Amino acid sequence: MMHLSMASTIARYTLLEALRNRLLWLLIAAALGAVGLAGFLQELALTESHQLQAALLGAVLRLASVFLVATFVITSMVREANDKGLELLLALPMPRAVYLAGKLAGFGALAVLPALLFGALALALAPPDQAALWAFSLLCECWIVAAFSLLCVLTLQQVLPALAAATAFYLVARAIGALQLMKQSGAAADNLGQQVLGGGLDLLALLLPHLDQFTRSDWLVYHGGSGADLLAVAVQTALYVALMAGAGLFDLYRKQI
């Protein structure tokens, strides 16, 4: 019970730090900017203007959520380390697993903010069930990115390398499905280099979450989301957050105070 109280305290102060750093205002500004851009392009479109608005708005809001969450996770952890706050916390009679659980819970609670705010905007574009699926998927996507960003900053301990690693992870995980389709639709591999490249893509697809299946704009445009999509998103999120939490805990226990 005491450990649960410690973890909840760490989570609460992590969320309070995000609010004090005006992260909510940044999310609101991103929402207003995305709405303005989508509305402007809707006026320029000759046909399917509503579909264009929904697709663009969904893509911009998703990218804004992921970028802001990853940036806050990394800069918050680096600031805490530079202020010796991490060393102080790890020197307390508290298991390091409790510290990591508190941080993950705090960053997870933070991800609820863009999911709720941008999910409310999605209600103007799609039926409630599709908007809810899109918002839940956005929440799960932000959880995965937050967990990986936390792992990166624990390992690399610097803002720029950690942010670059998190960005590369997100882009590759987003594009891996398309890369596999390109490989399958192309000519058959007839040399060793092509075979190695194809094998590397298959290995990446096995190891990485398929973020191209998350927060899909076509749910807002064509309203084709289903319970199977919800289950796939939930299972991948649970698996990868657990794996990255385990890797982060291993790295945390290696640190010497």
7-31 pLDDT, tens digit per residue, is 888 888 888 888 888 888 888 888 8
Phi, psi (5° rounding) for residue 130? Answer: -75, -40
What is the torsion angle, in degrees rounded to the nearest 10, for the CA atoms of residue 213, residue 129, residue 111 and residue 231? -50
pLDDT tier for residue 240 given thresholds of 50, 70 and 90 = very high
Beta strands in 79-206 (DSSP E): none
Element at 182 (helix H, strand E): helix 159-185
- pTM check: above 0.85: yes
User: pLDDT (tens digit, 9 = 90+) per residue, 27-50?
Assistant: 888 888 877 776 666 666 556 566
Render pLDDT for 82-139 as a digit per residue (tens, 0 to 9).
877 767 776 777 788 888 889 999 999 999 999 999 988 888 878 889 999 999 999 9
Q: Are 177 and 190 in contact (CB under 8 A)?
A: no
Amino acid at position 75, single letter? T
CA distance 236 to 150: 18
Phi, psi of 34 (to 5 degrees): -65, -40
Look at 169 and 39; give whichever has higher pLDDT: 169
Taking the CB of residue 133, how many other CB atoms lie within 10 A of it? 25
The token pair at 246 is 């385990």
